[in-house]
Amino acid sequence: MMQAREVNFDGLIGPTHNYAGLSPGNLASATNAGGVSKPKAAALQGLAKMNTLRSLGLTQGVLPPQQRPDLSALRAIGFSGSDEQLLRDAHESDPTLLAAIWSASSMWAANAATVSPSADCADGRVHLTPANLISNYHRSLEHPTTTRALRMIFSDASKFVVHDPLPQQMRYADEGAANHIRFASSHGEPGVEMFVFGFDREDPAGGARRFPSRQTRAACEAIARRHLLDPARVVYTRQHPDAIDAGVFHNDVIATGNEGVFLFHEQAFATSRSLVTDIAGPLGQPLKLIEAQDGDFTLEDAVSSYIFNSQIVTRPQGGMTLIAPLESQENERVGAFVERVVHDDRNPIDAVNYLDVRESMRNGGGPACLRLRVVLTDEELAATNQGVILDDALSDRLTAWIEKHYPDELSANDLLDPKLARSLTDALDELTQILDLPGLYPFQR
């Protein structure tokens, strides 16, 4: 049996974290638009989450934030002049454009890429496809730096393939691992990869009506082909359009899984029952299903509590822990459901850890949004850039760096400040030394 572990790479929350209401169909983002954010507190909450996972004995990685404001994005669409003028002109043309180029949205690393472990890929390498994120302009700015960062972290071509993002066209709209769940008897064994899409060209009428779908079936199929997955061990399934219309803009807001466990709401998928058989068949063993019924809690409870955006992690000594957002404990029905799950011997989840990631939650990003799962063998982990693997020393350096450079608060007016923009460049320059990612950012080249 192949030994491998899941390493979670969390997006380090960037110093420009703010609430701009940029994501239609993401209810938290819309509700908190225009609010005052707390970037320093946000980043420390994210780091505390990473350290909680480490305290369970798990290996934890860090993905760097991106260079924001992205003034080159403004120049690309015809704005010119000094930094101050760029910011002012962009604001006058459209305040949401200004907010977009400041967004710290790369923190939601579940959208950074789709990852297939080497046990699933015909060439025995780990395959990663950075997501093009073309459904929202502010997120479409992420993939060049994401691709570069992943190539600097997983640089050994004998073990890793970091593909280019899919074509920048709606037909291939891709949001990464947020719409992907891998099942396996254990992390190191060959798995069954489930790809979830919202929109299918073959069935255009079957889509959501109120809010946009962000992932196409064609994108899912392209990733499975590139990653050299065995077609008999790949499952495609459509999100329930009612779920998207209730605010489930990514599948990881309504379903999750770990090894043989599948946790989902009965309204997550267009076809739940046949889906379970389609996964269990090639897996060669029954799934441990945890299905929340409407009677347990509603779709609305799921979206407001973000319970399905928990991480289910396998502890090295055995057993599984649910890493859940505090908001799900605060919802009486959801909290009671979690208690039942933890005490039910028919599934391996035997502990819950409620975490405060409220700053990210207010933009629709829970614990699972903040991390990219990468299953690695010992050799693959050894070949990974060790500068981004969290230990006490790195955690201390990151804490000091955050304390030194991050604003306590950020509101819409601050986004017009060219001095803030310049000071952040110095901060990121320092960060590339801390994480051993020299030359990551465009301004360093």
Kindly state whether residue 23 participates in binding ligand SUG, applying the rule CB under 6 A: yes
Tell which residue, 153, 136, 167, 209, has the closest CA to residue 376. Answer: 153
Distance CA 433, CA 121 (A): 33
Kindly state whether residue 142 participates in binding ligand SUG, applying the rule CB under 6 A: no
Distance CA 147, CA 434 (A): 20
User: 142, 252, 259, 301: which one contacts ligand SUG (CB under 6 A)?
Assistant: 252
Residues 85-104 that bind ligand SUG (CB under 6 A): 103
User: 73, 141, 244, 253: which one contacts ligand SUG (CB under 6 A)?
Assistant: 253
Most distant CA atoms of the chain, gap in Å? 64
Kindly state whether residue 312 participates in binding ligand SUG, applying the rule CB under 6 A: no
Kindly state whether residue 239 participates in binding ligand SUG, applying the rule CB under 6 A: no
In the complex, the smallest distance separating the C-beta of residue 324 from ligand SUG, rounded to whole angstroms, is: 15
Residue whose entry in the numeric block shows the structure tokens 């000071």: 423
Kindly state whether residue 19 participates in binding ligand SUG, applying the rule CB under 6 A: yes
In the complex, the smallest distance separating the C-beta of residue 103 from ligand SUG, rounded to whole angstroms, is: 6
Total residues at interface with ligand SUG (CB under 6 A): 22
Kindly state whether residue 139 participates in binding ligand SUG, applying the rule CB under 6 A: yes
Tell which residue, 226, 182, 175, has the closest CA to residue 197. Answer: 175
Tell which residue, 211, 224, 127, 243, has the closest CA to residue 174. Answer: 224
Q: Are strands 288-292 and 320-325 parallel, antiparallel or unpaired?
A: unpaired
* Window of 3-11, 250-258, 410-418, 428-436 that interacts with ligand SUG by CB under 6 A: 250-258
User: 9, 10, 14, 29: which one contacts ligand SUG (CB under 6 A)?
Assistant: 29
Tell which residue, 47, 161, 59, 105, has the closest CA to residue 434. Answer: 47
Pair 359, 17: CB distance under 8 Å = yes
* Window of 106-114, 232-240, 325-333, 381-389 that interacts with ligand SUG by CB under 6 A: 106-114
Pair 9, 109: CB distance under 8 Å = yes
Pair 228, 121: CB distance under 8 Å = yes
Kindly state whether residue 305 participates in binding ligand SUG, applying the rule CB under 6 A: no
From the candidates 180, 227, 250, 265, give the one annotated as an active-site residue: 250
- C-alpha distances in angstroms, 395 versus 401, 409, 428? 10, 22, 16
* Window of 105-113, 218-226, 326-334, 429-437 that interacts with ligand SUG by CB under 6 A: 105-113
Residues 314-373 that bind ligand SUG (CB under 6 A): 363-365, 369
Kindly state whether residue 178 participates in binding ligand SUG, applying the rule CB under 6 A: yes
Pair 191, 233: CB distance under 8 Å = yes
Strand partners, 161: 127
From the candidates 175, 259, 327, 380, give the one annotated as an active-site residue: 175
Kindly state whether residue 407 participates in binding ligand SUG, applying the rule CB under 6 A: no
User: 4, 7, 12, 22: which one contacts ligand SUG (CB under 6 A)?
Assistant: 22
From the candidates 121, 187, 369, 380, give the one annotated as an active-site residue: 369
Which amino acid belongs to residue 161?
A: V
Nearer to ligand SUG, 118 or 179 (CB): 179
Q: In what order do the strands lie in the sheet with 5-11?
A: 60-63, 5-11, 371-376
Strand partners, 314: 320
Kindly state whether residue 306 participates in binding ligand SUG, applying the rule CB under 6 A: no
Distance CA 300, CA 178 (A): 19
User: 7, 12, 20, 53: which one contacts ligand SUG (CB under 6 A)?
Assistant: 20
- Known catalytic residue at 250: yes
Pair 65, 14: CB distance under 8 Å = yes
Strand partners, 374: 7
**How many CA atoms are closer than 13 Å to the CA of 1, on its beta-carbon side?**
9
Nearer to ligand SUG, 253 or 275 (CB): 253
Tokens of 103: 């967004």
Kindly state whether residue 106 participates in binding ligand SUG, applying the rule CB under 6 A: no
In the complex, the smallest distance separating the C-beta of residue 9 from ligand SUG, rounded to whole angstroms, is: 13
- Known catalytic residue at 369: yes
Pair 21, 37: CB distance under 8 Å = no
Kindly state whether residue 229 participates in binding ligand SUG, applying the rule CB under 6 A: no
In the complex, the smallest distance separating the C-beta of residue 353 from ligand SUG, rounded to whole angstroms, is: 19
Nearer to ligand SUG, 110 or 398 (CB): 110
- Residues forming contacts to ligand SUG in the complex (CB under 6 A) are 19-23, 26, 29, 103, 105, 108, 110-111, 139, 178, 249-250, 252-253, 363-365, 369
Catalytic residue ranges: 175, 250, 369
